[in-house]
Amino acid sequence: MLRADLRLARGGLDLDVSLELARGTLALAGPSGAGKTTILRILCGLERPDRATVAWDDEVWSDTDAGVHLAVERRPVGVVFQHYALFPHLSARENVAFGIPGEGGRAGQARRRERAERLLGRMGLDADAAGRRPGELSGGERQRVALARALARAPRLLLLDEPLAALDASTRSRASRALLDALREARVPCLLVTHDFGEAVLLADEVAVLEGGRIAQRGPAARLSAAPASAFVADFSGANVLHGEARPGEAGLTRVALDGGGELLSPDSARGRVAASVLPWEIALEPTSAGHVGSARNRLRARVTDVTRLGNRVRVGLALPQPLVAEVTAAGAAGVALSVGDPVLATFKATATRLIQT
- CATH number, domain at 278? 2.40.50.100
Looking at beta carbons, which pairs linking 104-112 to residues 24 or more positions away fall under 8 Å?
Answer: none
Query: What percent of the chain stands above pLDDT 90?
Result: 62
Position 40 scores a pLDDT of: 94
Q: What is the largest CA-CA distance in the chain?
A: 82
Position 152 scores a pLDDT of: 87
Which pLDDT band holds residue 33 (cuts at 50, 70, 90)? confident
CA distances from 349 to 191, 281, 319, 327, 329 (A): 36, 12, 19, 15, 17
Instruction: Inform me whether the pLDDT recorded for 265 exceeds 70.
Output: yes
Across the range 271-298, mean pLDDT stands at 88
Instruction: Inform me whether the pLDDT recorded for 279 exceeds 90.
Output: yes
Instruction: Inform me whether the pLDDT recorded for 330 exceeds 90.
Output: no
Position 294 scores a pLDDT of: 66
CB atoms within 10 A of CB 165: 14
Range(s) of the domain holding residue 6 = 2-226
Instruction: Inform me whether the pLDDT recorded for 65 exceeds 80.
Output: yes
Residue 233 lies in a domain: no
Higher-scoring residue by pLDDT: 235, 178? 235
Position 318 scores a pLDDT of: 96
Across the range 201-218, mean pLDDT stands at 93
Which pLDDT band holds residue 199 (cuts at 50, 70, 90)? confident
Instruction: Inform me whether the pLDDT recorded for 32 exceeds 80.
Output: yes
Residue 231 lies in a domain: no
Position 270 scores a pLDDT of: 92
Q: Which residues contact 126 (CB under 8 A, 6 or more apart)?
A: none
Encode pLDDT of 161-185 as tens digits.
988 887 776 677 777 878 888 888 8
Together in a domain, 184 and 261: no
d(CA 188, CA 295): 46
- For residue 207, list its beta bridge partners: 27, 219
Instruction: Inform me whether the pLDDT recorded for 342 exceeds 80.
Output: yes
Beta strands in 22-91 (DSSP E): 25-29, 51-56, 59-63, 68-69, 77-80
d(CA 261, CA 276): 14
Final residue of a structural domain among 226, 253, 269: 226
Report helix, strand or coil for 35. coil
Instruction: Inform me whether the pLDDT recorded for 292 exceeds 80.
Output: no
What is the average pLDDT value for the chain, to the nearest integer?
Answer: 90
Position 105 scores a pLDDT of: 65
CB 256 within 8 A of CB 265: yes
φ/ψ of 299, rounded to 5, equals -135, 105
d(CA 124, CA 141): 9
Instruction: Inform me whether the pLDDT recorded for 310 exceeds 70.
Output: yes
Together in a domain, 57 and 173: yes
Together in a domain, 194 and 276: no
Together in a domain, 73 and 184: yes
Position 331 scores a pLDDT of: 85
Encode pLDDT of 97-137 as tens digits.
987 876 666 767 788 888 898 889 888 888 899 999 999 99
Final residue of a structural domain among 204, 226, 248: 226
Together in a domain, 263 and 169: no
CA end-to-end span of the chain, whole Å?
Answer: 36
Position 299 scores a pLDDT of: 94
Together in a domain, 220 and 254: no
Encode pLDDT of 239-249 as tens digits.
999 999 999 99
315 CB burial (10 A radius; 0-12, 13-18, 19+): middle
Position 187 scores a pLDDT of: 87
Which pLDDT band holds residue 143 (cuts at 50, 70, 90)? confident
34 CB burial (10 A radius; 0-12, 13-18, 19+): buried
Structural domains counted in the chain: 2
Instruction: Inform me whether the pLDDT recorded for 291 exceeds 80.
Output: no
Across the range 190-201, mean pLDDT stands at 91
Pairing of strands 77-80, 157-161: parallel
CB 230 within 8 A of CB 211: yes
Across the range 44-62, mean pLDDT stands at 95
Q: Is the pTM of this model over 0.85?
A: no
CATH classification of the domain holding 81: 3.40.50.300
Beta strands in 117-235 (DSSP E): 157-161, 190-194, 206-211, 214-219
Which pLDDT band holds residue 140 (cuts at 50, 70, 90)? confident
Together in a domain, 71 and 24: yes
Position 276 scores a pLDDT of: 95
Final residue of a structural domain among 166, 191, 226: 226
